[in-house]
Structure 1
Amino acid sequence: MALHFVVDEAGFARPGDTIALTGAEAHHAAAVRRVRVDEAVTLGDGRGAWLSGVVTAVAPKQVDVRVTGREQVDAPVPRFVLVQALAKGDRDELAVQAATELGVDAIVPWQASRSVSRWDAKAEKGLARWRTIVREAAKQAHRAWIPDVEGVARTADLVARAGSALVLVLEPSASVRLTEVAAEASDTRDVVLVVGPEGGIAPEELSALEDAGARLVRLGDTVLRTSTAGAAAISVLSAAHGRW
C-alpha cells in the first residue's frame, strides 16, 4: 500500500498540480520512510480530499509530489463519537489511538468524577496531545477524515447531548448487550459511546445519563480496561453499520 501523507494543500489540488511536502511531513517522507522519485503515494487534507500522486523530487526539507488523481470521500453517517474518560498513565491516549485506527469520527475527553487524571490546569496541553495522536493514527490508518477532538466535557455536557444523539454508556453490569442495539441508529444522529475511567462510572453519573435518555450496554461477560473498551465497541458498531 502506498505511503500516505496529510497536507492542507490537498484540499485544493487537482491532477497535474505539484504539492510540496515540508516540515515534519517532508522529514517523515525523506528521512524516516525514505521515499524515492517515481514512488506512488497518497495525500489527503483530513477533510475528505483523497489524492493519488507520484514523487518527483526528494530533498531533506522538501518532497515534491505530482498529483495524478483525486476523489472526495464523504464523511461517514452516522458519526461514531467516543467519549473517553481521562485516565492515568497513557491509558486514555492508547484508547484514543486505537479508536482512531478503527474508525471513530470524533472524540470527546471526559473529566469523569472518578478520573484520576485531571486536566483542570492543563486542558489545552492535553487537547493538543490528543489531537497529535489522532492525526498520526489517522494517517497510519490511511483515513480520508481525521476525527475531531472536542473540548473537555463534564458529565452535565454528556447529559445535554443525550437529547440529540444515541448515547450508549459502556457499563459491565448492564443487562443489554451492545450487539443488541448497535444497528439501531440508522438515521443521521450521532452514536455516542461513553467509556468510564479505571474505577468505573460513578452511580450518580450513570443515573443522570440514564434519566437523560442514554442507554447502558455491556460488551460481553468480561470487563475491559478503559484503554480497550472503546476500541472494542467501535469494532462492533463498524460491523453492525456495514463499514466493515
Structure 2
Amino acid sequence: MAHFYLNELVSTAEVGSRVSVEGAEARHAVTVSRLAVGETVSIGNGRGLVVTGTVVTAEHTDLTIEAVEVTDVPRTEPAIFLAQALAKGDRDELAVQAATELGIDGVIPWTAARSISRWEGAKVAKGHDRWTAIVREATKQSIRAWLPDVLDLVSTNQLVRLSSEVRMLVLEPTAELALSALEPDDRDIVLVVGPEGGIAPHELEALTAAGATLVRLGDTVLRTSTAGPAAIAVLNAKLGRW
C-alpha cells in the first residue's frame, strides 16, 4: 500500500531535492507504519504538489525522502462543496470523511433548523478543528493531491445568501428532478444535505427562492451520513471526474 503524508509548508520541489515531514507526521510514519530507509513514500502539500521518492532518513522526528518524481496536479473545476448539516453522534463526521475520500473540494458545517447537534461557544472552534482533522486524515488515506477546505460554520440565512453565488443543489427526497438528470455547467457546486428529520419547509422555501435547485437521489431516504457521499459519486460521474 502506498504511503502518503502531508507537509503544507512545502512550496516547490524538483527531482533530486529532499523533502521532509516532521513531528507527529514523522512519528506516525516511523513508529506506526514502520517506514524504513529505502522505502518509497509520497509527500504532498495539499495544494496539488506531490513528491514521490526514496526514504533517506527515518527517525521519530524526521522522515526525509529524496525526490524521484514531482507532479503538480491542477485543481478540478468546477469545484464541489458539501454543506453538511450538523447531526447527532458521528453521522456528520462520517459524511465529511467519505466526502473527502470521494474528492470533495470543501466542506461547510451548517446549523440547520432541525440539527440536534449544535456548535456553540467553545464548541465552534472544537468542531471546526475536529472536521479539519478528519479531512486531513481522509486526504492522506485516499492519496489526494488537494486538501479540501473546511469553511466556517454557517446559519441557514448565510447559506441562503451563498446560493446566489454558486450552483446550489439541495438534496430533498420529494424533489421532482433526479440528480442523475441534472445537466452540468461550469459553476461551482454547493451540495446541501440536511440533518436527521430532513430540511425544514421554511428552509427549503428560502433556499429555492434564492435560486437553489431541489434534487433527489432515488425513491428511498438515505441517512445524513450517506446522502452526501452518494450524491458526490453521482456528480463525479456527471462531471467526468470518474
TM-score (ref. length: structure 1): 0.96
Mapped to 1, the partners of 2:73 and 2:88 lie a distance apart of: 36
SS in 1 for 2:10: helix
SS in 2 for 1:78: coil
Over the aligned positions, Cα root-mean-square deviation in angstroms equals: 1.1
Partner of 1:201: 199
2:220 pairs with 208, 219, 222, which one?
Answer: 222
Structural mapping, 1:99-114, within 5 Å:
99-114=99-114
C-alpha contact 1:185 1:191 (8 A) present in aligned 2: no
Partner of 2:98: 98
Deviations 1:130-181 (A, max 9, x none): 0000000011000000100000011111111111211110001111111011
Give yes or no for the alignment of 1:166 onto 2:179: no
SS in 1 for 2:109: strand
SS in 2 for 1:93: helix
Structural mapping, 1:104-183, within 5 Å:
104-121=104-121, 122-181=123-182
Where does structure 1 differ by over 6 angstroms across 4 or more consecutive aligned residues? none
Partner of 2:40: 40
C-alpha contact 1:92 1:226 (8 A) present in aligned 2: yes
TM-score (ref. length: structure 2): 0.97
Mapped to 2, the partners of 1:75 and 1:59 lie a distance apart of: 33
Deviations 1:69-118 (A, max 9, x none): 21211111000010000001111000000000011101000000110011
Residue 185 of structure 1: how far off its partner (Å): 3.2
Mapped to 2, the partners of 1:161 and 1:74 lie a distance apart of: 25
Q: Give the gaps of 5 or more residues in structure 2.
A: none
Q: Aligned AA for 2:154?
A: A
How many residue pairs match? The answer is 241
Mapped to 2, the partners of 1:8 and 1:193 lie a distance apart of: 27
Q: Aligned AA for 1:209?
A: L
Mapped to 2, the partners of 1:213 and 1:13 lie a distance apart of: 44
Q: Aligned AA for 1:124?
A: A
Mapped to 1, the partners of 2:191 and 2:178 lie a distance apart of: 13
Identity %: 53
Mapped to 1, the partners of 2:220 and 2:228 lie a distance apart of: 14
Q: Give the gaps of 5 or more residues in structure 1.
A: none
Deviations 1:14-40 (A, max 9, x none): 222222321111111101111121111
